[in-house]
Amino acid sequence: MRADFLDLGIAETARLLRKGELSPVRIVEAALERIAAGDAVLRSFITVFDEQAMAVARASETMLRAGHDLGPLHGIPIALKDNIATAGGRTTAGSKVLADWIPTEDATIVRRLRRAGAIVLGKTNMHEFAWGGTSANPHYGNVRNPWDPARFPAGSSGGSAVAVAARFCHCAIGTDTGGSIRLPSAVNGTVGIRPTYGRVSNHGIVPLAWSMDTAGPITRTVEDCELVFDAIAGFDPRDPASVRHPVNRMSNKSDVDLRGLRVGIVPGYFFHHLQSAVENAVRGALDVLVSLGATIEDVAIASIEGNISAQLTIESAEPSTYHQRNLRERPGDYGDDVRTLLEAGEMMLATHYLQAQRYRALLRAEFLEAFERVDVFVCPTLPFTATKVGETRVVIDDGEPEDMLSAIMQFTGIASLTGFPSLNVPCGFDGDGLPVGMQIIGRPFSEAHLFRVGRAFQQATSHHERSPDETPWT
Known catalytic residues?
81, 156, 180
Tell me how far apart the alpha carbons of residues 143 and 151 are, in angstroms, rounded to a whole number.
Answer: 9
Helices within 295-396 (DSSP H only): 307-322, 324-329, 336-346, 350-370
Q: Which amino acid is at 367?
A: F
Tell me how far apart the alpha carbons of residues 112 and 471 are, in angstroms, rounded to a whole number.
Answer: 36
- What distance, in Å, lies between the first and last C-alpha atoms of the chain? 8
Question: How many residues are given for the chain?
Answer: 474
Phi, psi angle pair for 383, to nearest 5° = -85, 5
* Residues in CB range of 82: below 8 A, 6 or more apart: 46, 47, 91, 92, 93, 94, 123, 124, 125, 126, 159
Tell me how far apart the alpha carbons of residues 57 and 51 are, in angstroms, rounded to a whole number.
Answer: 10
Q: Do the Cβ atoms of 194 and 422 come closer than 8 Å?
A: yes
Q: Which amino acid is at 226?
A: E
Give the chain's count of helices (H) and strands (E).
Answer: 16, 13
Q: Do the Cβ atoms of 66 and 179 come closer than 8 Å?
A: no
Phi, psi angle pair for 405, to nearest 5° = -60, -45
Q: Do the Cβ atoms of 301 and 370 come closer than 8 Å?
A: yes
Tell me how far apart the alpha carbons of residues 374 and 339 are, in angstroms, rounded to a whole number.
Answer: 42
Q: Which amino acid is at 217?
A: P
Q: Do the Cβ atoms of 41 and 149 come closer than 8 Å?
A: yes
Tell me how far apart the alpha carbons of residues 379 and 382 are, in angstroms, rounded to a whole number.
Answer: 9
